[in-house]
Structure 1
Amino acid sequence: MTEVAFHFNVPDKLGYACRLLRKAHAAGGPVGVVAPPETLRQLDVALWSFSALDFIPHCAAAAPADVLAATPVVLAADCAALPHAGVLVHLGAEVPAGFERFERLIELVGTGDDDRAEARQRWRHYADRGYAIQRHDLASAGG
């Protein structure tokens, strides 16, 4: 069963996603990222520019098969477009259809009221289906 983790009170979701993806890339596992198209575009730009010392190899799910096979971080608007990956990072509002095929799902939740309300709905969805949920509150962890 997929492990679900919510990271709450993320002040800068794109910056946090970049750091999270850098950590996942360093650990060596493939990672899928699912988000609305505009968020994916912003994340793509952020991954190229967030650190002068780090490069996180990434591509869109629509890339040629040989590029997908060689790229550890793949960005897509929905899970169906992603190749197999152990970790799925979710930056959207709705429960990502097909999340069950990933070993781990990481939900990033910002500080805004709308983002938190949408996260509560997703939390209920996972809890109602018996998923164990880990909670990481960045506000109480000091960031």
Structure 2
Amino acid sequence: MSEKEDYFSYLENVLGIKTVLIDQASQQASSQQIKSPLIFLVEGLSSYSADETELLNKMIAALKIDLSQVQAVDSQISASCEAEFTVHFVDHLGASLPRIPTGETVLVTHSPRFLLKNAAFKKQAWDDLQKVIRFFSRQAN
């Protein structure tokens, strides 16, 4: 098994993550719409290191949401995504950020890549992700 296959096996068999990562090349080749209750659009996901991917998976797992209801995809294919709630993980928040409409079902926050370099922002990112938990808690009731 290759290192990549070993890692994906670890994600599935140890962490129980079955549908978090989608291969960007196969998604772009497919015209199929991605539909999921919760989609994470991750800036530069296709170039994530193992540490960045691990933090992304931990952040998603911390939400305690059924992982079969979650998709994480590279933000480059966002046009083919449809979700009840969308989280945009971006490397830089600020004026240079493309306009992403935010609202009750769209959230823009710091990416795992950014957080590994700027640990002081982890609390802010976690506070942002609490909105996802509240949204799905209300949906369950």
What's the TM-score, normalizing by structure 1? 0.32
| Bigger fraction of residues in helix | 2
Higher relative contact order (CA closer than 8 Å, sequence separation 6+): 1
What's the TM-score, normalizing by structure 2? 0.33
